[in-house]
């Protein structure tokens, strides 16, 4: 017979552990549970009502049974999605992060322009960011450094206007290598802003990226359809560079660069992929782009390239359409200008294409800028999914979560725990009302929060609750490649 004394002797040193298990028995309790949500996971393509248990910033349980938690979010009637991952967000400060959060973005990365100083860039955001953040080593910045001009967002001096010497190209390679060694997520390019960067210079940068398994996020050399110098020629350069060097290629904002050529560019990418080349792309849901009026994009002949005129340019600071006089005036001072160069047909076709990810290309400064900063993701879900039926909710969410995570996984293995709802994944989650979600930002009023985003969690911490942005919390963490 097993007496209590024998029992205690038998279980020996593990007794206290068993006792504590006994005392805390019943279902485990989580830091936070989300109940009755329509949980959509693009990786498993599951779409069903589930409860989610979160502890320590990680998804610990996904279940149909009741879960206990210290905090409970009732997600009845709401969609629970992996947090949106924006691979193209220039604005990386508190102002921009607030608008991203209210649009459901939990990870915002500056991969096109990137930075010249990777370590410093990450240090400046440590414990100070609402959402997760990451950056590329930028070719533009490396070029400005090599040509000894102060590193600005976009170049306007020598780096914008002259060819580099072999010695300068060698220096640029070193700067990219330094950034990658410091954990840069990718390598960024804006070749249209550095039009005298030779094809050889670009190849040399791709070679560095390849050694680090880093994808090259490229704003192409040319826009539009006019030959020579079309976006088709520009994409040929990049696909060739990917084939020659083996570096993965990611073409940014394909619809704004391609304009009417966009369907052809997408066909070229599909064909390159069928030849086993690692080529991906992204688009944003607006018929106008935005850039600095001082940049090389507006060098002689821009009207022909885009098939537009002064009236198709809108000065961001005031909302006014430009004339030759105001264009010449603003070109001297510099500033952001919206470029109405696309049609709704082009944009819709790009969004529907299974190859495109959604990325915003966002930046707001003191409330001024392009509406894409604040509205990209809600606009896809409200306008293109719910109202236009251009694509399914599952496909839209795949383009905003799983695909961008997968793009970065090779270089940043921690991305395997983002863009998915699975046990062990980071609790970056966006909970929205699929009937209500819509963008509110416009070209006239770009700084307006989207509607319908009800809860946003970053590493398990709610940064949006009941549709209200929370303040004074900084749960965002660095998305960074391993540093060896
Ligand atoms: Zn760009």
Distances (CA, A) of 238 to 157, 217, 353: 25, 10, 20
153 close to 90: Cβ distance less than 8 angstroms? yes
Angle at alpha carbon of residue 372, lines to 288 and 117, rounded to 5°: 105
Torsion sign over Cα 398, 401, 403, 406: negative
d(CA 417, CA 54): 14
d(CA 415, CA 121): 20
Q: 440 CA to middle of ligand 1, Å?
A: 23
d(CA 412, CA 214): 9
Q: What's the token pair of residue 80? A: 């629970």
Mean pLDDT of the region 176-187:
98
Residue 3: partners with Cβ closer than 8 Å, 6 or more residues away: none
d(CA 484, CA 474): 27
Mean pLDDT of the region 84-101:
98
Residue 161 has pLDDT above 80, yes or no: yes
432 close to 79: Cβ distance less than 8 angstroms? yes
**Lowest mean pLDDT: which of 88-92, 198-202, 258-262, 474-478?**
258-262
Mean pLDDT of the region 436-447:
95
Q: 323 CA to middle of ligand 1, Å?
A: 24
Residue 198: how many other CB atoms lie within 10 Å: 11
d(CA 449, CA 441): 7
pLDDT score of 429 = 99
Closest by alpha carbon to 421, among 454, 457, 396, 386? 457
- If one compares 160 and 129, the residue with the highest pLDDT of the two is 129
Q: 421 CA to middle of ligand 1, Å?
A: 31
Q: What's the token pair of residue 346? A: 């082009």
pLDDT tens digits along 205-220? 999 999 999 999 999 9
Percent of the chain with pLDDT over 70: 94
Distance, C-alpha 144 to centroid of its chain = 24
Q: 75 CA to middle of ligand 1, Å?
A: 37
Mean pLDDT of the region 85-108:
98
Mean pLDDT of the region 82-104:
98
Q: 71 CA to middle of ligand 1, Å?
A: 41
Confidence of residue 305 (pLDDT cuts 50, 70, 90): confident
d(CA 119, CA 116): 9
Distance, C-alpha 345 to centroid of its chain = 24
Average predicted confidence (pLDDT) for the chain: 94
pLDDT tens digits along 328-353? 999 999 998 999 989 999 999 999 99
Q: 253 CA to middle of ligand 1, Å?
A: 7
pLDDT tens digits along 13-29? 555 554 444 455 567 89
> For tokens 């009502």, what's the residue?
49
**Lowest mean pLDDT: which of 16-25, 291-300, 455-464?**
16-25
Q: 235 CA to middle of ligand 1, Å?
A: 14
Residue 160 has pLDDT above 60, yes or no: yes
Reading phi first (left if > 0) and then psi (alpha if -120 to 50, else beta), residue 259 is in: left
Closest by alpha carbon to 338, among 321, 362, 350? 321
Residue 48: how many other CB atoms lie within 10 Å: 11
d(CA 217, CA 215): 6
pLDDT score of 348 = 97
pLDDT tens digits along 370-396? 999 999 999 999 999 999 999 999 999
pLDDT tens digits along 397-441? 999 999 999 999 999 999 999 999 999 999 999 999 999 999 999
Q: 477 CA to middle of ligand 1, Å?
A: 25
Q: 112 CA to middle of ligand 1, Å?
A: 7
Helix ranges (H only) for 229-299 are 231-245, 254-258, 262-274
Q: 62 CA to middle of ligand 1, Å?
A: 39
Q: 66 CA to middle of ligand 1, Å?
A: 47
Q: 328 CA to middle of ligand 1, Å?
A: 22
Whole-prediction pTM? 0.92
Closest by alpha carbon to 389, among 351, 431, 342? 351
pLDDT score of 151 = 87
Q: 360 CA to middle of ligand 1, Å?
A: 10
Q: 193 CA to middle of ligand 1, Å?
A: 9
Q: 46 CA to middle of ligand 1, Å?
A: 34
pLDDT score of 19 = 46
Mean pLDDT of the region 171-177:
98
Distance, C-alpha 378 to centroid of its chain = 14
pLDDT tens digits along 464-479? 999 999 999 999 999 9
C-alpha distance across the termini of the chain, in Å: 60
pLDDT score of 317 = 85
Distance, C-alpha 305 to centroid of its chain = 27
Q: 240 CA to middle of ligand 1, Å?
A: 20
Mean pLDDT of the region 1-19:
52
Percent of the chain with pLDDT over 90: 85
Confidence of residue 134 (pLDDT cuts 50, 70, 90): very high
Q: What's the token pair of residue 157? A: 């001096």
pLDDT tens digits along 266-293? 999 999 999 999 999 999 999 999 888 9
pLDDT score of 10 = 54
Confidence of residue 318 (pLDDT cuts 50, 70, 90): confident
């Amino acid at each position: 017979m097993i007496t209590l004394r024998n029992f205690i002797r038998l279980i020996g040193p593990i007794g206290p552990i068993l006792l504590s298990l006994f005392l805390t028995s019943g279902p485990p309790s989580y830091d936070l549970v989300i109940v009755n949500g329509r949980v959509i996971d693009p990786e498993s393509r599951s779409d069903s009502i589930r409860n989610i248990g979160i502890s320590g910033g990680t998804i610990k349980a996904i279940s149909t049974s009741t879960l206990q938690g210290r905090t409970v979010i009732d997600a009845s009637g709401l969609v629970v999605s992996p947090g949106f991952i924006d691979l193209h967000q220039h604005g990386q400060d508190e102002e921009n992060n607030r608008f991203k959060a209210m649009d459901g973005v939990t990870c915002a990365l500056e991969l096109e322009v990137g930075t010249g100083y990777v370590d410093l860039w990450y240090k400046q955001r440590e414990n100070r960011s609402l959402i997760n953040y990451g950056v590329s080593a930028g070719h533009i910045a490396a070029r400005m450094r090599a040509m000894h001009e102060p590193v600005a967002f976009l170049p306007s001096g020598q780096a914008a206007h002259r060819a580099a010497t072999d010695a300068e190209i060698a220096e640029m390679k070193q700067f990219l290598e330094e950034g990658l060694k410091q954990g840069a997520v990718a390598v960024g390019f804006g070749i249209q802003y550095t039009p005298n960067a030779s094809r050889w210079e670009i190849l040399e940068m791709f070679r560095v990226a390849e050694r680090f398994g880093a994808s090259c996020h490229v704003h192409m050399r040319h826009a539009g359809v006019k030959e020579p110098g079309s976006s088709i020629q520009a994409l040929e350069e990049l696909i060739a560079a990917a084939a020659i060097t083996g570096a993965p290629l990611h073409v940014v904002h394909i619809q704004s660069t391609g304009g009417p050529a966009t369907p052809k560019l997408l066909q070229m990418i599909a064909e390159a992929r069928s030849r086993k080349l690692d080529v991906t792309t992204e688009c944003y849901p607006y018929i106008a782009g935005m850039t600095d009026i001082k940049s090389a994009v507006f060098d002689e002949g821009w009207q022909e390239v885009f098939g537009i005129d002064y009236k198709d340019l809108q000065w961001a600071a005031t909302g006014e359409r430009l004339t030759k006089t105001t264009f010449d005036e603003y070109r001297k001072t510099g500033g952001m200008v919206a470029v109405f160069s696309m049609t709704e047909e082009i944009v819709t076709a790009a969004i529907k294409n299974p190859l495109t990810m959604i990325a915003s290309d966002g930046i707001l400064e003191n409330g001024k800028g392009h509406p894409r900063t604040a509205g990209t993701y809600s606009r896809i879900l409200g306008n293109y999914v719910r109202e236009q039926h251009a694509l399914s909710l599952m496909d839209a969410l795949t383009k905003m979560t799983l695909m961008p995570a997968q793009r970065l996984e090779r270089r940043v293995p921690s991305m395997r725990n983002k863009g998915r709802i699975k046990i062990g994944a980071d609790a970056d989650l966006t909970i929205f009302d699929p009937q209500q979600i819509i963008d509110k930002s416009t070209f006239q009023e770009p700084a307006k929060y989207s509607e319908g985003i009800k809860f946003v969690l970053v590493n398990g911490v709610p940064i949006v609750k009941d549709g209200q942005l929370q303040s004074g919390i900084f749960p965002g963490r660095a998305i960074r490649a391993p540093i060896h």
